[in-house]
Chain A
Amino acid sequence: MSEFASAIGFGIVTAAILAVSSVGFTLQFSVTNVFNLSYGSVMTATGFIAYGLNNAGLNIWSSMAIAALGGGVISVLMNWLIFSRFIRHGLSRFGMVIVTIATGLICDNTIQAVVGPSFYSYNVPLERVHDIGGMLLTTQELIVIAIAIVLMTLTHVGLKYTRLGTAMRGLSVNSSLARASGVPTRRVVAAAWFASGVMAGIGAVALFLDTGAFGATTGSSFLIIVIAAAVLGGVGSAEGAVVGALVVGISTEIAAAYWNAELKNVVAFLILIVVLLVRPQGIFSQLSSERTAVG
C-alpha cells in the first residue's frame, strides 16, 4: 500500500511538472496553431541557463525565475525570427511542423556542442523528506507542486478575466474573426509565445531538479510526454492540459512502480497514440480541423 501511495506521490510531482510544461505548449498552440516541436529545445536551453546561474552561486528558485524569463525571450525571438516569417511566406501546416523540427534540431545541437555529452546537476541543499499520507515528498517537490498550482490558477484567471486572456481565447477559437474585431494579433501572439517560453522554463528547471541528472537531450525526450498530456486533455485547452498531466503523470509512475521502470514512458506514448486514434480532439476539445497558422 505504501508503494502505491509513494507512486501516487511521484505521480503528483510528475503531474505538476507536466502540467506547467503542457499548458505552456498548449497555450501557444491554441493561439498560433503552430505545432511547436522545438519546445523541448527551449526547455533544455532554459534548464541550462538556470544551471549557469545556479552554478555561479544563485539559489535554484531565483535561477528558475530568471531562466523562465529567458525562456520567454527565446520563444518570442524564435517566432519573430523564424516561425512567423515562414507563416507569412505561405508555408502550410505540415511545412511548419518541419520548420519547428529543424529549428529544434539546430537549437538542441548548438546546446550539445557547447555543453557536451555529459550530465549535470543543480546545486541544491540536502532535502528534508515529508511524509504526507504515505507519500514521501521532499521540500523541493512540495515547492514544485505549489508553483504548479499557483501557475495554473494564474493562467486560468488570466485567460478568463484579463483582456489579454480574452484576446488569446478569441484568437484560438476564430482567428479571422478576432482579427477583424480589432484584436492586436501580433502582440497577443507574442504574448502567447512569451508565456509558453516562461512555462517551458519553469517546467524545465522543475524537471531537471526532479530527474537529478540532466543533459542536452533531456528536454527533447520530455517533449513527447508533454505532447501526450496536452493532446490527451485536448490541445488548446489549458484545463485539459492539467487533466492530461494528472492522468499521464500518475499512470506513468504507477506503471514504473508495478511494471517496468524503463518502459514507463511507453505508457505515456501509448496513451498518446490511443487518444489520437480514438478521440484526436482530446477530452476538452476546442479545435476545428481547418484552422490556419497565425504568426
Chain B
Amino acid sequence: MSAATQLYLATLGTYICVNVIASWALDLQFGVTGVLNFCFIIFQSAGAYTAAVLSLGPASTSSGFQQYIVGLHLPFPVPILGAMVVGGVLAGVVGLISLRRLRSDYQAMVMLVVSVIATTVVSAQVGLFNGPAGISLVTNPMVSLIHASRQTQIWVFVAFCVACMIVVGFIMYALVYSPYGRVLRAVRENDRAIEALGRNANRHRMQVFIIGGVLAGLSGALLVEFIGAWAPNGWFYPETFVFFTAVIVGGRGSLLGVAIGAAVVGVGVQQAVEYLPITLNPSVIASLEWIITGALTLTFLWIRPQGMFPERRRRFPVPGRAAPPDFSEELSPVREAFDV
C-alpha cells in the first residue's frame, strides 16, 4: 500500500473516530436529554486550542511566527487531559448562563450568540490563539513517543483514537442505557412531569452539558494533534449544525445510529463531494457540502425524523417467558420526534 493511500486511510480513520466521539457527545445533550446545544462547536474548539497550547512550547520560541497563551510543551497525554478539563469547565460556565428557564428557541439563541462571541473574540485577540491565522505546527504526540517510521507513528495514533472511541462508547452505553439515562430521556420528553416526580431537570441538563463538553474537548484534542492546526474559520457557528445533522440522520438517542450518522454526515458527505467526477473549484466544493448537509437535515426531518436507526423501545422481560427481542424498528409518526 502506497504511503499516500495509507495517509488517506489513516486520515479517514481519525476523522471518523473524532466525529463519532463528538456526535455522541451532542447526542447525549440533544438526542437523549433534549438540550439544544447550538454552541457545541466551541467545546470541541476549546479542546483543540487547549491541547495545542499545552503541547507547543512557549510562543516566544517561534520568533514571531505565531502568538498564543501558555505554551508549556507538556508530554502526551497531558494536553489531551487538559483539553477534556477545559471542555468541561467551559461547558459549566456556558451552562450556567444559558440553561435557564427560557423557552427552547430563546435558549438556542443564547447559545448561538455565545458561539458567535467566541469566534469574534478569538479572531480579534491575536495574542490568545493567534487570531484569524490560527495555531499551527502542533506535532503529533506519537512522533516523540514512538521511534519508528512516520507511517507507523500515524497508525499508532489512529489506533489510539480508535481506543478512545471505544472507551467513550462504553461510557455512553453505561450512561444512556440505565436508570440515569431513563431520567434524561424523561427530561427530554416532559420536564414538567419529571420535576413533579422529584427530579431536578436543570441539574441533569447541566450534567450532560458538562460531560458532553468533556467529550467534545477530547474530540478536539485528538483532531488538532492529527491535523496539526486549528483556526477560527474552521469553527464558525454553523459547524455545530454538522453534528446536529449527524444526530438527526443517524437516529437521535441511538448510540449505533449516531455513530453511523457521524460517519455518513461528517466524513461521507465530504468525501463524496471531493470525488465527484466533475471538477469544481474548492470554494464551490465547500458550499456544496453545506448544501447537502442542509438538504439531508430537511429530508430526514420530513420523512424520517427518528433517523436511520431510531432509539430502541425498551421492553422488559416478562417473568417466566423468554425476553422479547429488544430492538424494534418503529415507523413512529413525525410527532414523536422533537415533541416539546
Contacts and interface: CB of A to CB of B under 8 A. Distances in A.
A and B touch in the complex (CB under 8 A): yes
Interface of A: 35, 37, 82, 85-86, 89-99, 101-106, 108-110, 112-113, 116-117, 224, 227-228, 231, 260, 262-263, 265-266, 269-270, 272-273, 276-277, 280, 289
Nearest to A118: B283
Contact of B109 (A103, A112, A227, A265): A227
A189 B288 CA distance: 32
Contacts of A117: 283
Given A105-B290, A110-B287, A277-B97, A93 B105 contact: yes
Contacts, number: 131
Taking chain A's interface residues, is the majority helix, strand, or loop, or is none over half, making it mixed?
A: helix
B106 A280 contact: yes
22 contacts: A35-B109, A91-B301, A92-B339, A94-B105, A94-B340, A96-B105, A102-B301, A103-B294, A105-B291, A106-B291, A109-B286, A109-B287, A112-B283, A112-B287, A113-B288, A227-B109, A231-B106, A231-B109, A262-B123, A263-B120, A273-B117, A276-B102
A91 B106 CA distance: 17
A276 B241 contact: no
A260 B124 contact: yes
B287 A98 contact: no
Contacts of B301: 86, 91, 95, 98-99, 102
B238 A105 contact: yes
B114 interface: yes
B101 to A, nearest CB: 9
B70 interface: no
Most central of B116, B123, B287, B335 by chain A CB within 10 Å:
B287
Contacts of A108: 290
A228 B110 CA distance: 10
A273 B97 contact: yes
A94 B36 contact: yes
Contacts of A95: 301, 305, 337-338
B49 interface: no
Contacts of A265: 116, 120
Interface string B38-81: 00000000000000000000000000000000000000000000
Interface residues of B, number: 46
Given A109-B291, A273-B110, A289 B103 contact: yes
Contacts of A97: 36, 104-105, 108
A109 B104 contact: no
B234 to A, nearest CB: 15
Contact of A110 (B291, B293, B298): B291
Nearest to A33: B105
B267 to A, nearest CB: 19
Given A94-B338, A105-B290, 19 more contacts: A90-B333, A92-B339, A93-B104, A93-B340, A94-B105, A95-B305, A97-B104, A99-B301, A102-B295, A102-B297, A106-B294, A106-B298, A112-B287, A231-B106, A266-B117, A272-B113, A276-B106, A276-B109, A289-B103
A90 B334 contact: yes
Contacts of B124: 260, 262-263
B157 interface: no
Given A91-B338, A93-B104, A101 B287 contact: no
A86 B102 CA distance: 23
B124 to A, nearest CB: 4
Contacts of B120: 262-263, 265-266, 269
B39 to A, nearest CB: 11
Contacts of A227: 109
Contacts of B291: 105-106, 109-110, 113
A104 B241 CA distance: 12
A113 B338 contact: no
